[in-house]
Amino acid sequence: MRLVVDMTRCQSYAQCCFLAPDTFTLRGQEALVYDSCPDDAQRDKILQAAAACPVQAILVERLERLENRPAPPPPEEPGGALASPATRAPRAVAGPEDSPRADGRIVIVGASLAGLRAAEAVRREGFAGRLTLIGDEAAEPYDRPPLSKEVLEGLMPVEHTALPRLEALDAEWKLGAAATGLDLAGKRVRLADGEEVGFDRVLITTGTRARPWPDRAEARLDGVLTLRTREDAGRLRERLAARPGRVLVIGGGFTGSEVASACRELDVPVTVVQRGPAPLFAALGGVVGRVAGQIQREHGVHLRTGVTVTALEGDPGGRLRRARLSDGGVVDADVAVVALGALRNVEWLRGSGLAAGEWGVACDAGCRAFDLNGLVTDDVFVAGDVARFPHPMFGFEFLALEHWGNAVAQAEIAAHNMVSGQARRWPHLSVPIFWSIQFGHLIKSAGVSALADEVVLTQGSVEDRSFVAAYGHRGRIVAAVTVNQSKWLEYYQRLIADGAPFPPHDAADKPDGMRPVPAAMPAAVVPWRATEDATLAVTGHQPSEWQAVWRPRTPAAPGPRAVAAPEPEAVEAQERQS
């Protein structure tokens, strides 16, 4: 059987650990680990655990749900029959543009978490037409968070990460078939094998891939790895099981920190090299990042901050042996895990006319993609890690979120809007949530901490490694981070959504003792400045002729002035946006 725990909901009540102890285990105070593909002999216990979960966070694939499923009811608009008169949306006069679009052909490019959940959602919404999912990986959709946790530690094989099917799809699958182009005018997706797939509406969920080590020769050394796919996790798991003398983790973001945590669980020596002043600095800032650094050192991690890896060196046989650091230091290592963030999979969209670049595919709050002119494309939608969208709650800031919860929530919004008329479409306005399990601690966050200028401790104790930190921007709460205090997160979600004042005195254990301090977030990088190989130009002399086009940048002629080195915050800022 297959299952997945929605950790954005989970509040670590641990009933599942008592009811199905062979499947679920709680580490430390709140860190839940589990096997997502347990033996069928555990089915009754797991179903009982799923039913008993107070927040209904355990999602189980039930065969009876996928077989002989009755046709779904027609979708209901927001604020339907169950809404109070004060909140129920007014019924618009129906017109052709308001009618549900339940037929035609929907193509989803990207067969991972967002793609699968969107496919299930369009069927649940009543779509009865043709449905096609295209994915560049040969494997069926699988869950990525366990790859850096349970899989690396050997708690479950990589094959057990397959995502549960929650709805019958009746879909055509094209797995192992990479998309290479999008023809908007002809409404066709081009595949690497030459096939062209027509569509009436298309959803782009192509996600991201691991950022490789920049020196290709060094990246080919035996022992230099990244972690993003099942294959990546399988290779790294084999290396860790072989007990290397030392693992070097390049990058102290969430992926790097979770890899380091797995190494210490296996009693493998590990060094983390972090450009910033603390691990998790790009996502949580310097204040909470320093606590994360203390936790790493307490668990035996050799943490080096404020330095970078300048070179990887191997022996005559091509095997990794050491890394040289920017401060002149040397780290001997048999394995190096490059954890420098992710690259969005948008190359296949070059020449399509969409506003797609290094920071993702731009779309509106309803997930409709923008073209290069900033106009909405009514039949092209975007969701998940590859999407870049405005969020009204955060000053209409365009966000690009590589979060499990955002992939699910945005996919469901996109699916609803693809099959709904204009008057019944929904905006994607959920408060972003993500989580990480490392060194026996559960770290969860709500909101956008990158926007904050101040942070304050509101609950618990840093010394006890159980606390809540609230982030503020110009007197308003914009984010909260919990460490082993996940039951508080839902409350802070509501504060963020309500635009509550900062600091949140009503939520604090000791409101009179709260002392906000600077959040110490990394400097922001303007997205257009991060595009180095091309620039956007406008052609035409009259409004009817104006068009935006990508043009390659012409390198500046060399002059007497030295060329400035790349900004040291570039990778940090990319991780922060992620």
Q: Which residues pair with 304 in a beta bridge?
A: 273
Q: Which residues pair with 106 in a beta bridge?
A: 131, 201
Query: pLDDT tens digits for 10-51?
Result: 999 999 999 999 999 999 999 999 999 999 999 999 999 999
Both tokens assigned to 212: 């490789």
Q: What does each C-alpha distance from 414 to 117, 180, 344, 366 come to in angstroms?
A: 10, 22, 19, 7
Give the gyration radius of the chain's Cα atoms. 24
Q: Pseudo-torsion of CA 341, 385, 532, 255, nearest 10°?
A: 0
Q: Residue 115: which of 144, 135, 136, 138 has the closest Cα?
A: 135
pTM tops 0.85, yes or no: yes
Write out the H or E segment, with its range, that includes residue 479.
strand 476-483
pLDDT of residue 95: 46
pLDDT of residue 91: 33
Cis peptide before 100 (omega within 30 of 0): no
Q: Which residues of the chain have pLDDT under 70?
A: 63-100, 511-512, 525-578
pLDDT of residue 322: 97
Query: pLDDT tens digits for 451-467?
Result: 999 999 999 999 999 99
CA gap 430, 423 in Å, rounded? 20
Q: Which residues pair with 435 in a beta bridge?
A: 444
Q: Residue 202: which of 303, 268, 275, 108 has the closest Cα?
A: 108
Domains of the chain plus CATH, in order, are 3-66 (3.30.70.20), 100-209+344-424 (3.50.50.60), 216-340 (3.50.50.60), 440-518 (3.30.390.30)
Q: What is the 3-state secondary structure (H, E, C) of 59-88?
A: EECCHHHHCCCCCCCCCCCCCCCCCCCCCC
DSSP 271-319: EEEESSSSTTHHHHHHHHHHHHHHHHHHTT-EEEES--EEEEEE-TTSB
CA gap 435, 241 in Å, rounded? 26
Query: pLDDT tens digits for 163-205?
Result: 999 998 999 999 999 999 999 999 999 999 999 999 999 999 9
Contact 372, 354 (CB under 8 A): yes
pLDDT of residue 559: 46
